Amino acid sequence: MEAVFVGIDIAKDTFVVVVRRNGQNGKARIFHNNARGIASLMHWLPVRSEGLVYSCQEATGAYGQEVAEQLHSQGVQVSVVNPLATKRYAQSSLMRNQTDSVDAGMLAEFCQTKHPRLWVPPTPAQKTLKALSRRLEDLQKMLQMERNRLGSSQHLPETIQDSLYQVIERLTEQIQTIKAELRVHIQQDPELIRQKKLLMSIKGVGELTAIRFLAELGDLRQFESAKQLAAYLGLTPTWKTSGTSVQTKPRLSKCGPAEVRQFLFMPAIVAKKHNPIIHAFCDRLARARKCDMSIIGAAMHKLAQLMFGVIHSGIPFDPDYLKNLQVPA
């Protein structure tokens, strides 16, 4: 039987589905984005009556998580793709209109022509870890906002200052509670303990960085190579050249999850000073007169590669690795 391709355009309250057979899109259908709507989708899709079914949806955070998980549980080959990839595909196809039904049809066509990488659902432990990690990040952002307000509150009424102090105290307590929950959760999963220790063996990677890295990316073994991981994170350089008139400097692609790049920034700066491998690498770039931000971006790239290496090899980071490679005279 010929494969069936399904495009799903996700929104907060609804999602639109288009089924593509024999190179032609069918009529769009709308479902409510809740348990009842997803159950209706499972009943409507030709999962059992036809051959392989492939579905494609954009990465929309929590809104599309349940849809993807239910499809995967029914044997559908699910892909969750970067919205930038589908946007560029639509532009290359000269699509003039943008509606939910058009986007769903485009996703079905994208699935058939591009064969995007299949999505692997997170384990329950990974889902809990990600939820706790993101809650910690939200609380830390709120705490910083309140501290900034307190710093400029000298001319505000005393009541407002007292309120700020109370909120800061409460947020600090909540942050400590979530940190404790994170540590307890990891201690209950031997694999998470092992991977966290491996990541923390790298100079520059602290406990929270290791936890957030595992929370956002799951098992790094889903990536086939360090280059693939770096490309996914948007840490690979890109160039734009055309004839003699367009010659731009290389920049990070920034195509991947911005939150991962954000929390790798400070560890990369620390590793640039204290990690011997990254330090030597950055020194070579400095001697080549690369600018500071380019060097930090390269340090982030190298740090992600080291994190991939320790997880895949199962061997802790060796700071003397470069020395050991040298052949004795």
pLDDT at 158 over 70: yes
pLDDT at site 100:
92
Residue closest to 28 by CA, chosen among 12, 43, 11, 15: 15
**CATH classification (class only), 4-114:** alpha beta
Strands (DSSP E) found in the chain: 4-10, 14-21, 24-25, 29-32, 53-58, 77-81, 237-238, 241-242, 246-247, 251-252
Q: What are residue 8's DSSP bridge partners? A: 17, 57
pLDDT at site 313:
92
Which pLDDT tens digit goes with each residue over 253-295?
Answer: 888 788 889 999 999 999 999 999 999 999 999 999 888 998 9
pLDDT bin (cut points 50, 70, 90) of residue 50 is low
CA 196 – CA 311 distance, rounded (Å): 9
Which pLDDT tens digit goes with each residue over 245-260?
Answer: 666 777 788 887 888 8
Which pLDDT tens digit goes with each residue over 196-211?
Answer: 999 999 999 999 999 9
246/172: higher pLDDT = 172
pLDDT bin (cut points 50, 70, 90) of residue 327 is very low
Residue closest to 153 by CA, chosen among 168, 140, 138: 168
Which pLDDT tens digit goes with each residue over 84-122?
Answer: 889 999 999 888 888 999 999 999 999 999 999 899 888
What's the mean pLDDT when you consider all of the chain?
89
Contact indicator for 228, 235 with CB cutoff of 8 Å: no
Domain ranges, ordered by start, for the chain: 4-114, 124-188, 223-241+254-324
